[in-house]
């Protein structure tokens, strides 16, 4: 089956919101072995919408439409879809009463424009919306089945999983099984990864895609086979080869974030961590504690921005600050050792740097950062220069720090990104 996704709304074309609905819907379809061949965003403009609907009907078996089902004047999906295929737009009394009940249950008065949400193209299969007032619907036009869903993500995702997926699965015939995985890597550039893996999945039943999501690079092996079992076996073979080739550069799979991986490893080993942050301003602590259960391994952190705070809270010697400056190897080592000692943990992490855009000198340019990891009997530190904006500088620094924790727990060499300037 060939699928298409249409997302509707002026706000998408103006860049006012990020269109995450497309990726969610495509991923759900892939779980049913259905590949998305086309993705389109369309303005709230009837001629443009009619063109998009008619194109979809000419080339796709399934078209998922997101948006334009609200009560306002710019919510046009049902009316325009009916117009595109010469269908009558009919009021469904049962749906109208459901919408009225929705407002009554919240002690609110329904305005007349909400009645438009109860109008559907003739012959539509109505899809109830348990979270809002905008029901969805599906219609079949020729060989194409349209599924129209709200644009609000939480409403759309629930309706897709509970109502659309079962309908598609029951209608889907046997065909080629498609399976995919996502391998997350950190520390090697996209072009270098491609070169490193040039002989893996170069041909045959598995294709390999690449995607950058700063500061990571993702590998997307996709397998096609006569059965799901054969596709999974092919993916196992290719993923094993990739992991063997790249080693610890691969840190996770699918939805595993680096901070979640680090947290799981700390918990499994019964180890604890604390952080001392200057330039990252608490970002490492935030990422660690974003994960449920982090209290089992995260003891606490210190944001020591000023020299006085570094001395008073972490025990950084005043002589080291005076002689070497806050952004220096002796200071970051003292910060990591100080936070480890004060919180009595297994691992102490520290960062200090110049995230910019100002504050640099000839000897210490904007982008310079020092990172240190202290553990029992050893402290490792290194410096880098990342010439990038402030937000990315801080994110990359936090990523290296977390990756060092992972590498420490794996007992492998602590390294920075292969493309980093030192």
Residues 282 and 288: their CA atoms lie apart, in Å, by 10
pLDDT at 108 (0 to 100): 87
Is the Cβ–Cβ distance between 88 and 30 less than 8 Å?
A: no
- Burial of 218 by CB count in 10 Å (0-12 exposed, 13-18 middle, 19+ buried)? middle
Both 263 and 338 in one domain: the answer is yes
Final residue in a domain of this structure, among 171, 195, 229: 171
Is residue 195 one of the residues assigned to a domain?
A: yes
Tokens of 12: 């998408």
Residues 26 and 180: their CA atoms lie apart, in Å, by 12
Q: Is the whole-model pTM more than 0.85?
A: no
The range of the structural domain enclosing residue 186 comes to 177-253
Both 167 and 38 in one domain: the answer is yes
Final residue in a domain of this structure, among 171, 189, 208: 171
Both 264 and 322 in one domain: the answer is yes
CATH number at residue 342: 3.90.950.20
Residues 99 and 293: their CA atoms lie apart, in Å, by 40
Is residue 416 one of the residues assigned to a domain?
A: no
Is residue 222 one of the residues assigned to a domain?
A: yes
Both 352 and 321 in one domain: the answer is yes
Both 242 and 271 in one domain: the answer is no
Q: How many Cα atoms within 13 Å fall on the side-chain side of residue 117?
A: 28
CATH number at residue 232: 3.30.70.2860
Is residue 291 one of the residues assigned to a domain?
A: yes
Which alpha helices (DSSP H) does 270-389 contain, by range? 283-289, 307-314, 318-324, 329-343
Both 17 and 126 in one domain: the answer is yes
**What does the DSSP assignment read for 56-98?**
HHHH-SEEEEES--SSSTT--HHHHHHHHTTPPEEE-HHHHHH
Both 267 and 245 in one domain: the answer is no
| Sequence-separated (6 or more) residues with CB below 8 Å from residue 341 | 315, 348
Tally of domains in the chain: 3
pLDDT at 177 (0 to 100): 78
Is residue 422 one of the residues assigned to a domain?
A: no
Final residue in a domain of this structure, among 171, 197, 224: 171
Q: What does the angle CA 296 – CA 298 – CA 300 come to, to the nearest 5 degrees? A: 135
Q: Are strands 347-353 and 273-277 parallel, antiparallel or unpaired?
A: parallel
Both 264 and 249 in one domain: the answer is no
Both 97 and 224 in one domain: the answer is no
Is residue 415 one of the residues assigned to a domain?
A: no
Residues 307 and 328: their CA atoms lie apart, in Å, by 12
Residues 319 and 297: their CA atoms lie apart, in Å, by 33
Both 85 and 200 in one domain: the answer is no
pLDDT at 173 (0 to 100): 62
Is residue 418 one of the residues assigned to a domain?
A: no
Is the Cβ–Cβ distance between 89 and 79 less than 8 Å?
A: yes
pLDDT at 281 (0 to 100): 97
Both 278 and 236 in one domain: the answer is no
Block means of pLDDT (10 residues each) for the chain, 422 residues, are 94 92 92 90 96 97 95 93 96 92 88 91 94 93 96 93 89 74 93 93 88 92 88 94 97 94 98 98 98 97 97 97 97 98 98 94 95 97 95 97 98 88 62
pLDDT at 422 (0 to 100): 60
pLDDT at 316 (0 to 100): 98
Both 108 and 212 in one domain: the answer is no
Residues 210 and 12: their CA atoms lie apart, in Å, by 25
């Amino acid at each position: 089956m060939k699928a298409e996704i249409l997302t509707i709304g002026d706000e998408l074309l103006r860049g006012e919101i990020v269109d995450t609905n497309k990726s969610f819907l495509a991923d759900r379809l892939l779980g049913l072995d259905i590949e998305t061949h086309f993705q389109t965003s369309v303005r709230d403009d009837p001629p443009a919408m009619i063109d998009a609907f008619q194109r979809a009907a000419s080339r796709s078996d399934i078209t998922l439409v997101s948006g334009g089902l609200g009560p306002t004047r710019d919510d046009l999906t049902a009316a325009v879809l009916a117009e595109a295929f010469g269908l009558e737009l009919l009021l469904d009394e049962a749906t109208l009463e459901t919408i009225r009940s929705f407002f009554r249950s919240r002690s609110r008065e329904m305005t007349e424009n909400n009645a438009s949400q109860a109008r559907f193209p003739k012959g539509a299969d109505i899809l109830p919306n348990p979270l809002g007032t905008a029901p969805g619907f599906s219609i079949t036009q020729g060989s194409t089945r349209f599924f129209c869903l709200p644009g609000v993500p939480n409403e759309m995702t629930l309706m897709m999983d509970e109502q659309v997926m079962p309908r598609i699965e029951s209608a889907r015939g046997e065909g080629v099984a498609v399976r995919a995985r996502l391998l997350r890597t950190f520390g090697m550039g996209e072009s270098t990864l491609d070169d490193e893996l040039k002989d893996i999945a170069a041909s045959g039943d598995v294709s390999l895609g690449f995607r950058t999501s700063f500061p990571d690079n993702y590998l997307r092996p996709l397998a096609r086979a006569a059965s799901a079992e054969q596709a999974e076996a092919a993916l196992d073979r290719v993923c094993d080869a990739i992991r063997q080739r790249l080693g610890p550069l691969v840190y996770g799979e699918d939805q595993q974030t680096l901070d979640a991986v680090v947290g799981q490893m700390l918990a499994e080993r019964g180890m604890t961590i604390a952080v001392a942050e200057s330039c990252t301003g608490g970002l490492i602590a935030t990422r660690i504690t974003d994960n449920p259960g982090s209290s089992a391994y995260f003891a606490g952190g210190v944001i020591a921005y000023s020299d006085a705070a570094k001395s008073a809270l972490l025990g950084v010697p005043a002589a080291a600050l005076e002689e070497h400056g806050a952004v220096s190897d002796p200071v970051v080592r003292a910060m990591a050792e100080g936070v480890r000692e004060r919180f009595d943990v297994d691992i102490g992490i520290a960062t200090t740097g110049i995230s910019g855009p100002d504050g640099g000198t000839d000897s210490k340019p904007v982008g310079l950062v020092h990172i240190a990891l202290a553990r029992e009997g050893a402290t490792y530190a290194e410096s880098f220069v990342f010439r990038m904006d402030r937000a990315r500088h801080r994110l990359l620094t936090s990523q290296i720090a977390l990756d060092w924790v992972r590498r420490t727990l794996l007992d492998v060499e602590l390294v920075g990104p292969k493309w980093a300037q030192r």
